[in-house]
Amino acid sequence: MKNRTKLPSLYLAVVLVLLYVPILLVVFYSFNESKISSVWGGFSLKWYAQLFRNRALFGALGNSLILGGISCLSAAVIGTLGAYGMAKARLRTKGAVEYMATLPIMMPEIILGMVFMAFFSLIGIPFGMGALVLAHTAFCVPYVFMLVKARLVGMDPSLAEAALDLGASPARVFFDITLPLVLPAILSGMLLAFAMSFDDVIISVFVTGVDTPTLPVKIYTQLKTGVTPEINALCTLLFLAVLALCGLAAFLGREKKGGAGKAPEGLPGEKKQ
């Protein structure tokens, strides 16, 4: 019995280690005194010092945080209301619109980048933060929409009906009954949407303005031209931030254990039923 379970565990461990190797190398070389990443020149924090003097990079980080925040918030509103309304709607176009609403994450991102670039110049939206927010919202909506929709399907409709029968207005029912019940799904969707937005290069490259580069666009350009180890330092800090957030999520998840709802960890693949 023991031998049967050991091999798979070993396999899982090996793949996981391989997943982390490139990341850990970036972290490791961020402390490298030498500028050339293949040479170890001793421990140094100079790239961190240089990073904190790099206004442009921090500006880009700020842009990305603002962009991700606004996009995932607007996606939360549009997606949640949309999933709620669609569950009630009896329109003939419902299926088609639902399909279209999820299209942005079904097709290659490059197509989205292309269509937004062309469309925004057609209707005169200047490239920059506004264009970025619209484009990012478009691919953030599906995450919230699909997760909330799945959650609504699994919900007991008699709760809302009971409230309606007792005289609550539909808006009241939505805010008092439905919203608290779907909140974990909304948060999962928002988290996922934020991560996608924060990481997006392909779509942003096409609609970004000169004065509002997002962090991935900035890093992408640097990786193409010459990399300075500042990027290592920045990447290391981002990695630590992700670690801290995941740790926090795990901690909160533990606190909530025993509750009926799933922890809002936003794990892909946790959907369905």
Partner 1 sequence: MKPKKKNKGALAALPLYIFTLVFVLGPLLYMLALSFMTRAETWGVVPEFTLENYANIFQPVYLSTFWESIKLAALSTVLVVLIGYPFGYFMAKLTAKWKKRTMMLLMIPFWTSSLLRLYGWIIIFRAGGVLDSVLMSLHITSGPLKLLYTYPAVVVGMVYALVPFMIFAVYSSAEKLDFSLVEAARDLGATPFKAFWTVSLKLTLPGLLSGVVLTFVPSMGLFFIADILGGNKVVLVGSLIQEQLLKAHNWPFAAALSVALLLLTTLLLFLYRKAAGVKDLEGLV
Contact window for partner 1 (CB under 8 A) among 48-56, 65-73, 94-102: 94-102
CA–CA gap between residue 237 and residue 52 (Å, rounded): 11
Tokens of 94: 């419902």
Binds partner 1 by CB under 8 A, chosen from 162, 199, 248, 251: 199
Smallest distance from partner 1 to CB 219, Å? 5
For partner 1, the closer of residues 52 and 237 by Cβ is: 237
Binds partner 1 by CB under 8 A, chosen from 1, 2, 19, 55: 19
Smallest distance from partner 1 to CB 122, Å? 6
Instruction: Give me the helix-helix angle, 179-199 and 129-153, nearest 10°.
Output: 140
Sites for partner 1 among residues 245-264 (CB under 8 A): 245-246, 250, 253
Is there binding between residue 58 and partner 1 (CB under 8 A)? no
For partner 1, the closer of residues 49 and 161 by Cβ is: 161
Is there binding between residue 109 and partner 1 (CB under 8 A)? yes
The string over 16-29, giving b where at least 16 C-beta atoms fall within 10 Å of a residue's C-beta and e elsewhere, is: eeeeeeeeeebbeb
Binds partner 1 by CB under 8 A, chosen from 1, 2, 3, 9: 9
Contact window for partner 1 (CB under 8 A) among 17-25, 42-50, 53-61, 65-73: 17-25
User: H-type helices in the chain, by residue range?
Assistant: 2-29, 46-53, 55-88, 94-106, 109-123, 129-153, 157-165, 170-173, 179-199, 202-207, 215-224, 229-255
Is there binding between residue 131 and partner 1 (CB under 8 A)? no
Q: Could you tell me which of 172, 109, 174 has the C-alpha nearest to residue 142?
A: 109
Is there binding between residue 184 and partner 1 (CB under 8 A)? no
Contact window for partner 1 (CB under 8 A) among 44-52, 53-61, 65-73, 77-85: 77-85
CB-CB neighbours of 153 under 10 Å: 11
Which bin fits 42, alpha (ψ -120 to 50), beta or left (φ > 0)? left
Binds partner 1 by CB under 8 A, chosen from 49, 159, 179, 223: 223
Sites for partner 1 among residues 132-171 (CB under 8 A): 134, 137-138, 141-143, 145-147, 164, 170
The string over 46-64, giving b where at least 16 C-beta atoms fall within 10 Å of a residue's C-beta and e elsewhere, is: ebbeebeebeebeebbebb
